[in-house]
Every structure is written in C-alpha cells, then in structure tokens.
Chains A and B, each alone.
Chain A
Amino acid sequence: MSYPDYPDALIARILRSVKTIAMVGASANAVRPSYFAMKYLLDKGFKIIPVNPGQIGKEILGQKVYARVADLPPPVDMVDIFRNSEAAGPITDEVIANKDRLGVKILWMQLGVINEEAAKRAEAAGLTVIMNRCPKIEYGRLSGEIGWYGVNRRIIDNRKPYAFSQGGSLKRG
C-alpha cells in the first residue's frame, strides 16, 4: 500500500466534491502522464485549468493555460501539483497565499510527489493535503473503471454501481 495511507472515504469525498482543478505542470505533449490525467479528468466532467509558464498564450486540450497559481481566476477547488517533490514546496506556498481568493480547499501532489514540510504548512493553513496519488488512478479505482485493466482496487462493494460514464461506484457514494 502506498505511503501515506489515506482512507478511501476521504479520497472519494474529495473527488465527489471538487469541480475545478488547477493542474500545475500540465503538459502540452500528448504522451506525457499529466496530459493523460488531464484528458481523463476532463472526460469525467471536471473543469481543468492548466498551469504551465512555458505554454502561456496557448491552450491544452482546449483549456486556456495560466503561467502561475497567482494568475488563476476563481473558483479553484483543488490544486494538483504535477511537478517534482522539491518544486512542490514553493508551489504550495503560492497556493496558500492565494487560497482565500481562489477558494482552494484541497492541495493534491501527484504520484511520486511527497513534500512533508509543504504538506504541514498547507494543513496549518486549513487545506486538506493528499500526496503521492494520481486523481485519475484514484477516480478509476473508486469508480471501478480501472478494474478493466486488471488493476487491484482493494475494494469490495456488494451494490450495483452506476454506469462508469456516470461515475460508477464513486458517484454511488
């Protein structure tokens, strides 16, 4: 099991409640993992705002790119950091500085990204922090859809899920 250990109920509550996600480090390259995640989450009905100073003035998957968190328009429910663990520190501080203006409640660091100090600062500022997880994989796992790839979801549920196009077990609650 991946570190840190988060209850499924917490991840599910986040993925059911957030509507707008700012993805810091979203790539315009169609074979990069961040592009995959953005494409998937857009398909699932999230509004995704890409943040990437190298792509300013352009669009990724039809979404206008912003250079930095400070430039984002509200509302942003969640910031997903698709950068390395070290870079997650200053980005976290930027999120904390803009959280009230944007309405950010969740700070999410991607699979492989762990920054304990940044997480402490974010939690002290009232944010809920998830580290070392991918929202695409978690959505696929909790909805049930990733089971189509033979992935071990570690979930047993005796209820009939909604269709996967409607969120499967995740939206069932």
Chain B
Amino acid sequence: MAEYGFDTLAVHAGAQPDPATGARITPIYQTSAYVFEDADQAAALFNLQVFGNIYSRIMNPTVAVLEERIAALEGGTAGLAAASGHAAQHVVFHTLMEPGAEFISARQLYGGSVNQFTHAFRKYDWHVRWADSTDAGSFARAVTGKTRAIFCESIANPGGVISDLEGIARVAEQAGVPFIVDNTLATPYLIRPFEWGAHIVVHSATKFLGGHGNSLAGAIVEAGTFDWAKSGKYKTLTEENPSYHGLRFHETFGDFAFCVAARALSLRDLGPCLSPQNAFLVLTGVETLPLRMRRHCDNALAIAQWLSSDRRVEWVNYAGLETHPLHAAQKKYCPKGAGSVFTFGLKGGFDAGVKLVNGVRIFSHLANIGDTRSLIIHPASTTHRQLSDEDRIKAGAGPEVVRLSVGIEDPKDLIADLDHAMQSDN
C-alpha cells in the first residue's frame, strides 16, 4: 500500500470518479433513500451483513467520501460524519456511556462543549469531571471506577492552550478508557492525535476543515486501537445488540467497530445526520486545508507578534510566541504552527473589548472560528456569557479577553484594522 502525503490525501482520499457517470467531482447524492435490489439484499443490508446504502440518516455516498477523507487525514481506520461538532460529540458519548457513568474533560474547552457536558449530558445521567489539559496528573486524580472516557481539545478554544496529549494518553491507557480528542482547532495538518495515543478524534468540520464558514458539519474518526472487550464497560460495542438480532459490533467489525456502532445505533436512533450538500461544501474546503492552514498560522503569528508589542495590549496568549509558557509544547505537538485562534487581553478591560469588536471593519464580529475571513469575538459578552464569572475565568474568557480567528487575508490589512479599532479617539 502506498503511503500518500498529507496534501495528496486532502485532495483525493475517499473520492473516485463516479461509477455511474464518470463525474470526476464527488456528486451530491441528494436522496433520502436507495432502492433495494431484492428482498434478500434488503434484509442483508438491514442486518449489516453487506455494505450498501439504506437511508440517508444512516449513510449517504457524498457524506461517505467526506468521512473517508477525514479518516485518512487523521490516519484513522474509519470516519463518521454528523450534522455538527456538537452532534459528533453527542454520538460519541452516546456510544460509550451508560446512565451513571462519568468522563473526565479538560476544563479548557469551547463554551458550547462546557454547556453540553454540564447540562445536556446530565439529563442522560452522564457526569463530567474537570481536569487541566496542561497537567496530565489532574486527569489521573479524577479517575474513578465510573470513568468511561477522557476528553480534551488538542489546541483548546478559546485560549489556544496546547494540551499535553502524550501525558493524558498515558493516563487513559492506565485507566483502560478511550482518549477522545477534539482536533477542531489544530486540524490533522497541525496535530494528528492518534500519533500521541488518542483513540477517537472529533471535529467541528464547520471550522478549518470546511474552512469557509458556509456549512455546519461534524466528524468522528477512530484509530482502531482500543480494545473494547477488555474491560466489559462498553456494552454498546461488546454485548449482543437487540436491535440487530444479537450482533456484537466489536467482534464483527474489528478495527472500525466503533464507527459502525456509532452509525448503526446512535446516528440511526438520535438522527443528527449530515446533509449531502453540506458534506460537498466541506469536501471542497478540505482540498485546500494544507494551503489554508499554512497561511492561517503565518498570519496569526504576525498579528500575535504585533499585538505583543502594542502598549494597549496587556497580554497575548499565543503559543507560537517564543515567550509563551507553552511554546515548548507547541514545538513538540504542532511545530508547523500554533493555529490561528488565540486570545489577548486589553488593558482597557470589558469596555475596551466591546469597543474593539464594534470598531473593526475587516474582522467580522461573530461566534465562529476557522473561516477564510478573520473573525473576532469578546467571549465574556457572547460565547461564554452563560457561565459564572469563576467558570469564565477558568475557561480563559475573563472580561478583558478578546478572541481572534485569524483568516487568510493580507496580514498588513488585518493589523491596520485592529490598530484603527483600538484607537482611543475612535
């Protein structure tokens, strides 16, 4: 088997000329359902005995190309797409957890994930315990007999924290639980979590993978390295499944059993499937992922350097800066760049943050990241406003904090835009 380079995989993996028409670009299979060849084939499909398409809530040929593309870029055995990053996380935990079970998550986390883990998951009687993504020991101390998974972001939103993936993976190994990494901010171009011992990767493909701010999408990739049967804790994968006549997923689907179970049970039953239209747009975006990520990182570093020398700025939290405490971690985990999402603090506090987001004319004031366009937000007044003051600060979203997602425009124009918006007489 050839080992293709990352940039080649970004363009080609999972796609092939259409068998029916020869169309070179992956067609948008805009269909809800697929005809069966006969009753026997229909039964075999529903039993998962043969590979094929049934209904687009469970699988779709356009979506499948995206699933394989992301799996290839991450170096995993299989992928599964969902309607959003949140949907992907929901599906992953639904496959792993039982009522009463716990998981440990880094507290340096996207605010929406804090909400999902704290409130939405509690309704399923799933409980999160918090740890520090730069201190693997804090994960070890949170392990209990009920722990079913460990979760962190590779580069954490909004602070741009570089997580100690290798250390956290070791804790997961000792605890015998899968290590799930949200790789949205790094993308596999900067970090491939499986190379550090992760077992499952999740993405909001809405962000850098799609890259153009035009489509919601989520993705799950499995490494194929976790032994689901060993502990007896992952019943969805190892016990006879009543909705498939007693099938055991882990023994039937080997190193892609997690994705098949997540598809055939959680995606099927919860319903958060990705539309083929959105899959097509994200696929097109992924083709230029390496080009965009190089530019995103170059621009982010230039802006971080400029901000760190500006008298109106109190601090800049970008691990790509040599003075940053996590610069060594950045050199270890993502030497090609520290990503393009980071925070900085304004000396003028909350009011200066509000003034800045109101004053920019190139940066867009909105709650998203990973767009070709540069984006800006003041988390304390938006994404993180539902959290308590204490939790906001713990999540890296205090009152003076501004978050940037640096786009691929000319860096001199981006710097001029920030400079102008920060003028006190503006």
Q: Which A residues are within 8 Å of any B CB, using their own CB? A: 1-2, 5, 7-8, 30-31, 33, 35-36, 39-40, 43, 111-112, 134, 137, 140, 144-165, 168-169
- The CA-CA distance from A2 to B77 in the complex, in Å, is 11
The interface on chain B, measured as residues whose beta carbon lies within 8 A of the other chain's beta carbons, has a size of 52
Beta-carbon contact of A40 and B50 below 8 Å: yes
Select which of B1, B49, B67 is within 8 A of A39 by beta carbon: B49
User: CB-CB < 8 A to A150: which residues of B?
Assistant: 59, 64, 67-68, 71, 78-81, 259, 263
- The CA-CA distance from A146 to B49 in the complex, in Å, is 12
B236 nearest CB across to chain A (Å)? 15
**Chain B residues numbered 12-54 whose CB sits less than 8 Å from any CB in chain A:** 12-14, 16-20, 22, 37, 41, 44, 47-53
Minimum CB distance partner of A158 in chain B: B17
**Chain B residues numbered 210-259 whose CB sits less than 8 Å from any CB in chain A:** 240, 244-248, 251-252, 254-256, 259
- The CA-CA distance from A151 to B255 in the complex, in Å, is 10
Beta-carbon contact of A30 and B245 below 8 Å: yes
User: CB-CB < 8 A to A43: which residues of B?
Assistant: 41, 44, 50
18 more contacts with CB within 8 A, not counting A152-B79, A165-B37, are A31-B248, A33-B252, A36-B48, A39-B49, A40-B50, A40-B51, A147-B64, A148-B53, A150-B68, A150-B263, A151-B77, A151-B259, A152-B68, A153-B14, A156-B8, A160-B18, A161-B19, A169-B16
Judge whether B143 is part of the interface by a CB distance below 8 angstroms. Answer: no
- The CA-CA distance from A6 to B14 in the complex, in Å, is 21
Which 7 pairs of residues, A with B, have the shortest CB-CB distance? Answer: A150-B67, A152-B71, A160-B17, A150-B79, A31-B247, A151-B78, A156-B12
B391 nearest CB across to chain A (Å)? 36
Known contacts A7-B1, A31-B240, A137-B254: does B49 contact A149 (CB below 8 Å)? Answer: no
- The CA-CA distance from A157 to B49 in the complex, in Å, is 26
User: CB-CB < 8 A to A144: which residues of B?
Assistant: 16, 19
Known contacts A36-B252, A145-B51, A150-B79: does B17 contact A156 (CB below 8 Å)? Answer: no
Beta-carbon contact of B52 and A145 below 8 Å: yes
Beta-carbon contact of A147 and B65 below 8 Å: yes
Interface of A is mostly: loop
Q: Which B residues are within 8 Å of any A CB, using their own CB? A: 1-2, 4, 8-9, 12-14, 16-20, 22, 37, 41, 44, 47-53, 59, 61, 64-65, 67-68, 71-72, 76-81, 240, 244-248, 251-252, 254-256, 259-260, 263
Select which of A31, A40, A157 is within 8 A of B246 by beta carbon: A31
Beta-carbon contact of B16 and A146 below 8 Å: no
Which of B8, B44, B78, B245 has the most chain A CB within a 10 Å cutoff? Answer: B78
Minimum CB distance partner of B248 in chain A: A31
Beta-carbon contact of B50 and A159 below 8 Å: no
User: CB-CB < 8 A to B260: which residues of A?
Assistant: 149
- The CA-CA distance from A130 to B238 in the complex, in Å, is 27
- The CA-CA distance from A162 to B48 in the complex, in Å, is 23
Could you give 29 example pairs across A and B, Cβ below 8 Å? A2-B255, A30-B47, A31-B240, A33-B251, A33-B252, A36-B49, A36-B252, A43-B41, A43-B44, A43-B50, A111-B254, A144-B16, A148-B52, A149-B59, A149-B256, A150-B59, A150-B67, A150-B68, A150-B71, A150-B78, A151-B68, A151-B78, A152-B68, A152-B78, A152-B79, A156-B2, A156-B12, A156-B13, A160-B18
User: CB-CB < 8 A to A168: which residues of B?
Assistant: 19
Select which of B19, B44, B48, B80 is within 8 A of A163 by beta carbon: B19
B101 nearest CB across to chain A (Å)? 26
Known contacts A7-B1, A156-B8: does B16 contact A151 (CB below 8 Å)? Answer: no
Beta-carbon contact of A149 and B76 below 8 Å: no
